[in-house]
Amino acid sequence: MRGQVENGAGAVVIVIAPDEAHSVDGDSPRVGACDIEGRFSVEGLRPGSYLVLATYISGNVNTGAIAEMVYVRGLNRQAKTIQLEEGETAAVNMKITPWPE
């Protein structure tokens, strides 16, 4: 998966299963960094459905905290849903989602 985040220099892109029941250990969430132009790439995703969002995270945040923010605090409602097919590279363009404090 690759794409661009509007005003996304320094942001992170979170790719996560649509709900906890579909999360595979070690596969979700995945995080990619945006370059100075907001471009990002997240490699090695299996075919399937994913939620994708871009945000700014200050400090170190572990994958458990990311999953909690997405599933429990409702960031999943602001994410884009992407269906990734075998051999496909999805192109995603998006805006920043504010990270809850």
What domains sit in the chain, N to C, each tagged with a CATH number? 2-94 (2.60.40)
- Encode pLDDT of 8-34 as tens digits: 999 999 999 886 655 555 566 899 999
Our CA dihedral for 82, 14, 19, 92, rounded to 10 degrees, sits at -10
Q: pTM of the full predicted structure?
A: 0.84
Token digits for 51? Answer: 């939620």
- Encode pLDDT of 48-69 as tens digits: 899 999 999 877 777 788 888 8
pLDDT of residue 54: 94
- DSSP letter string, 28-91: SSEEEE--TTSEEE---PPSEEEEEEEE---S---HHHHHHHHHTSSGGGGSEEEEE-TT---E
